[in-house]
Amino acid sequence: MAKLRILAAAILALPLVALVQSFPVLAQAWPSKSIRLVVPYPPGGSTDLLARTIAQKVGESLGQQIIVDNRAGAGGMLGSDIVARSAPDGYTILLGTGATHGLTLLLSKTIPYDPVKDFTAITAAVEVPIILCINPSIPATTARELVDWAKINPGKLAYGSSGTGSPHHLSGELFKQVSGIDMVHVPYKGAAPAVQDLIGNQIPAVFTTLSTALPHIRGGKIRAVGFVEAKRQPSVPEIPTIGESLPGYVMPASWLGFFGPAGLPEAILKRFNAEIVKAVQSPDLRMRLEAAGMPVVGTSAEEFARMVKDDIETFRRIVTAAGIKPE
């Protein structure tokens, strides 16, 4: 009788064993079709450039095509929401920013997703340094000299950004708070038109990305005052940080990072992280990205998740102090 019970238990356990053994097979089968990479901004910008560059390299490694899907609108919320609502099966991912996963939570009354709870952080691929630039007609080379000039010339210093609620806008608001000067914010529809107006002396100062400003800095058309982050950039070590001459000023590093929907399986998360980090840290791609003003990072998923949460709290303090209300 005891032998019969053991035999019966063994027979009943067979389907469960087969099911458990099938999981590695299923995990190994991913990806079995093309992957969609949603970019929540129009084609042609730095986010789109990074997406297409990494999509090609990671797609080759995974053996499946990664298709870039530009879904611009609502300050990046449209594309981000598409991914938040997607199945967590590893076939839809997002290239997000500090705006889509930080500032929108604080500045929009109608954000359709939670930037923390509705996503799985995969990796912060690169930093996107933000730099304060001025028209060369202003006699200043450091943040302190610019503040001194603004105090002597009240009402003359306005600054442009890529749009209201962008990290560039918040960088300017923090500059006002730390320096004690008043600057009018002029929001543009993107970084390129702001920089063009700076070159044409239609606006005296702009907070923008290094990748956008670098060709014009090197060409002498605009002057770099300093980076908003805590450290200088290896590609242009001669450019200081704002905080070097204006103590107390520092913004969190801006980044471009990859997300999946909430609930992304651990095995797929680890594979995505490993492949994306390997791609951005490869010598050829690292050289291309850093030459374009995008220093390579390649964090772990856990580090990236902490970065997102920490940035939200930093932005919250700046937004509150500036009195900026959600719209």
Domain ranges of the chain: 32-127+254-322, 130-245
With tokens 């950039």, the residue in question is 233
| 315-318-319-323 Cα dihedral, nearest 10 degrees | 170
Q: Please, are residues 41 and 76 in contact by the beta-carbon 8 Å criterion?
A: yes
23 pLDDT tier (thresholds 50, 70, 90): very low
95 pLDDT tier (thresholds 50, 70, 90): very high
SS3 142: coil
Q: Please, are residues 165 and 156 in contact by the beta-carbon 8 Å criterion?
A: no
**Neighbour count for residue 298 (Cβ, 10 Å):** 19
32-127+254-322, superfamily in CATH?
A: Bordetella uptake gene, domain 1 (3.40.190.150)
* Averaged pLDDT of the chain: 90
Could you report the per-residue pLDDT of 194-215, keeping only the tens digit for each? Answer: 999 999 999 999 999 998 999 9
Asked if the model's pLDDT at residue 18 lies above 60, the reply is no
Q: What is the pTM (predicted TM-score) of this model? A: 0.83
Give CA–CA dist 279/156, Å, rounded.
46
Mean per-residue pLDDT, 251-272: 97
Look at residue 28 in the predicted model and tell me its pLDDT.
58
Asked if the model's pLDDT at residue 24 lies above 50, the reply is no
**What topology does CATH give the domain 130-245?**
D-Maltodextrin-Binding Protein; domain 2 (3.40.190)
The better pLDDT of the pair 28, 112 is held by 112
Q: Please, are residues 100 and 84 in contact by the beta-carbon 8 Å criterion?
A: no
Give CA–CA dist 210/135, Å, rounded.
16
Cα 272 to its chain centre, rounded Å, is 17
Could you report the per-residue pLDDT of 220-240, keeping only the tens digit for each? Answer: 999 999 999 999 998 899 999
Tell me whether residue 161 is exposed, middle or buried, using C-beta atoms within 10 angstroms of its C-beta: 0 to 12, 13 to 18, 19 or more: buried
Could you report the per-residue pLDDT of 111-152, keeping only the tens digit for each? Answer: 999 999 999 999 999 999 999 999 999 999 999 999 999 999
Give CA–CA dist 241/141, Å, rounded.
12
Tell me whether residue 37 is exposed, middle or buried, using C-beta atoms within 10 angstroms of its C-beta: 0 to 12, 13 to 18, 19 or more: buried
Look at residue 11 in the predicted model and tell me its pLDDT.
38
